[in-house]
Structure 1
Amino acid sequence: MSDVLNSSKAPEPVGLYPHARRVGNLLFLSGVGPRVRGSKEIPGVTLNPQGEIVDYDIATQCRSVFDNVRNILEECGSSWEQLVDVTVFLTNMKADFPTYNSIYAEYFRSNQPARTTVEVLSLPTPIAIELKCIATID
């Protein structure tokens, strides 16, 4: 059994995919970024008129993406504490990893899912971080 699930609080997907899919007692989240639902706003990002990143604040983006993940989990019947695996994509590992890692430790103090962090050349929207998560669901 597989259920397609979407959140009314998280930013709309930028393609033909759901926020999450439930398979048995697992919830698989699609890639989640820091965008704001219902707008083109990306917290912590300054764009030029061509839509290219001029400046960004990785701390603001981290907090926004973690909040978006939490919203999806809760609306889909899971929770932050039920996360079991997190894959993090950063566009600038050297510059952003220390800040991201510090904020990650704040959010995951009590729950410590398995984690993989990789650097990618770019992401589909002008963001510096994206998360792909797996959680359990009752």
Structure 2
Amino acid sequence: MNDKIHSNQAPEPVGLYPHARKVGNLLFLSGVGPRKRGSKEIPGVTLDAAGNIVSYDIELQCHSVFQNVRYVLEASGSRWENLVDVTVFLTNMKKDFAIYNKVYAEYFKDNQPCRTTVEITALPTPIAIELKCIATV
């Protein structure tokens, strides 16, 4: 069965898609960013009047995005330790990779899923990191 999962703690999706879908014993998470639920607040991000990024703190965004992934996993009946594959999208590899990699190592020291990290030009909201994950249930 294909079960759509919605978390009441993770930020609302920015389009018509669920937080995750369960297929058999696999869980496929939609892209998860660092926004806070119920607002457009992004931890560590300062925007100008036009909504452009003035400054951001990648470390705060990393902690927030990892917490949001945890919210989706828990709402799905899974857990952090069940992550098997993580794709990470960064908007500035040169500036952010070392900090992101340090924070990532704190969260994944015991569970070490497969990982791909890519740099992209932009994300749909003014964030610097987004994760796409696969877990078991």
Whole-angstrom CA distance in 1 between matches of 2:55 and 2:72? 27
1:124 matched to 2:133? The reply is no
Query: For 2:71, what is the secondary structure of its paired residue?
Result: helix
1:85 matched to 2:85? The reply is yes
Whole-angstrom CA distance in 1 between matches of 2:49 and 2:11? 22
Aligned-pair CA distance for 1:15: 0.3
Structure 2 residue aligned with 1:112: 112
Aligned-pair CA distance for 1:12: 0.1
Query: For 1:55, what is the secondary structure of its paired residue?
Result: strand
Q: In angstroms, what is the RMSD of aligned CA positions?
A: 0.3
What letter matches 1:72 in structure 2?
V
Moved over 6 A (4+): none
Query: For 1:116, what is the secondary structure of its paired residue?
Result: strand
Whole-angstrom CA distance in 2 between matches of 1:29 and 1:81? 15
Length-normalised TM-score, structure 2: 0.99
Structure 1 residue aligned with 2:19: 19
Query: For 1:21, what is the secondary structure of its paired residue?
Result: strand
Specify every segment of 5 or more residues in structure 1 that has no aligned partner in the other structure, as ranges.
Answer: none
Aligned-pair CA distance for 1:98: 0.1
Whole-angstrom CA distance in 2 between matches of 1:21 and 1:52? 32
Length-normalised TM-score, structure 1: 0.99
1:37-61 CA-partner distances (Å, limit 9, x unpaired): 0011000100011111000000000
Specify every segment of 5 or more residues in structure 2 that has no aligned partner in the other structure, as ranges.
Answer: none
Whole-angstrom CA distance in 2 between matches of 1:40 and 1:117? 25
Structure 1 residue aligned with 2:55: 55
Aligned-pair CA distance for 1:75: 1.2
What letter matches 1:22 in structure 2?
K
1:70-129 CA-partner distances (Å, limit 9, x unpaired): 011011100000000000000000000000000000000100000000000000000000
Query: For 2:102, what is the secondary structure of its paired residue?
Result: helix
What letter matches 1:49 in structure 2?
A
1:33 matched to 2:33? The reply is yes
